[in-house]
Amino acid sequence: MPATRTRNKVADLGAVAAGLAHEIRNPLNSLYINGQLLEEMLAELPEKGVPQKGELLSLARANLKVTQRLNDTLSGFLRFARPPAMELTLVD
């Protein structure tokens, strides 16, 4: 009975982790896509018209890096929370 209970708790943890990851990853992806668009738009601005262009591009790129780092952290969390796949083998 304790082994079954442990398996159920691990399965529950995996389900919670998947739900949490979904709720975090969707807005995170939106932030990343918007950050990419912002970076592209800033890169197209003329240097003369926007004296802070370099600084703004630097900030946009820093935000993209942080967003990617959060996404990587979330992926690591999911790998940890998800139980390893079972391998079935034939026995005689």
Q: Identify whether 56 is part of a domain.
A: yes
Q: Is residue 67 part of a domain?
A: yes
Instruction: Report how far residue 50's alpha carbon sits from residue 47's, in angstroms, rounded to the nearest whole number.
Output: 6
Distances (CA, A) of 39 to 9, 36, 56, 77, 91: 44, 5, 9, 28, 57
Task: Name the more confident of 41 and 87.
Answer: 41
Residue 35 forms part of a structural domain: yes
**Structural domain harbouring 19:** 2-81
C-beta separation of 14 from 83 below 8 A: yes
Structure tokens at 82: 């998800």
Residue 90 lies in a domain: no
The C-alpha atoms of residue 71 and residue 12 are separated, in whole angstroms, by 22
Domain membership flag for residue 91: no
| End-to-end Cα distance, the chain | 27
Q: Give tens-digit pLDDT for 3-43.
A: 788 777 777 877 888 888 889 999 999 999 999 999 999 99
Considering the domain boundaries, does residue 55 fall inside one? Answer: yes
- 39-77 per-position pLDDT tens digit: 999 999 998 888 899 999 999 999 999 999 999 999 888
What's residue 1's pLDDT? 55
